[in-house]
Amino acid sequence: MYWLVITDGVSCSADTAYYEVTNVQTDISEFAINALSIYPNPSRDVFNIKFTSNSRQYFVVRFVNLIGEYLLEDRLDDFIGEYTKQIDLTNKTKGIYFLEIETENGVITKKLILQ
């Protein structure tokens, strides 16, 4: 269980947000993905993404900016094998982005840094 406590500039606190985390995945093999590789990270322009699925399943691979906009979305139905993708961010603003891989068992999120 987690509580979010916010303190303003005059030391007034508020704790009205409550979160309960019940299922925390810690190993990508629990998501039925093997050998997840994202390189280079940080990058100045291009990110390479690779992973392998040994069983047929549904995946959604998303590239997301800080405000939650999807810049790329690949839907993979009944996918098995090696996934490879090169994402060119030459024309994007420098900063932090996220790679999300949605599986039948949950979502893997990785931070990407564009320099």
Per-residue pLDDT of the chain (115 residues; tens, 9 = 90+): 566 677 777 877 766 555 555 555 557 778 888 889 999 999 999 999 999 998 899 999 999 998 889 999 999 999 999 999 999 999 999 999 999 999 988 899 999 999 9
CB atoms within 10 A of CB 101: 22
d(CA 61, CA 3): 30
Classify 89 as helix, strand or coil.
coil
Q: What is the reported pTM? A: 0.73
Enumerate domains of the chain plus CATH numbers: 25-114 (2.60.40.1930)
CA 25, 110, 4 angle in degrees (round to 5)? 65
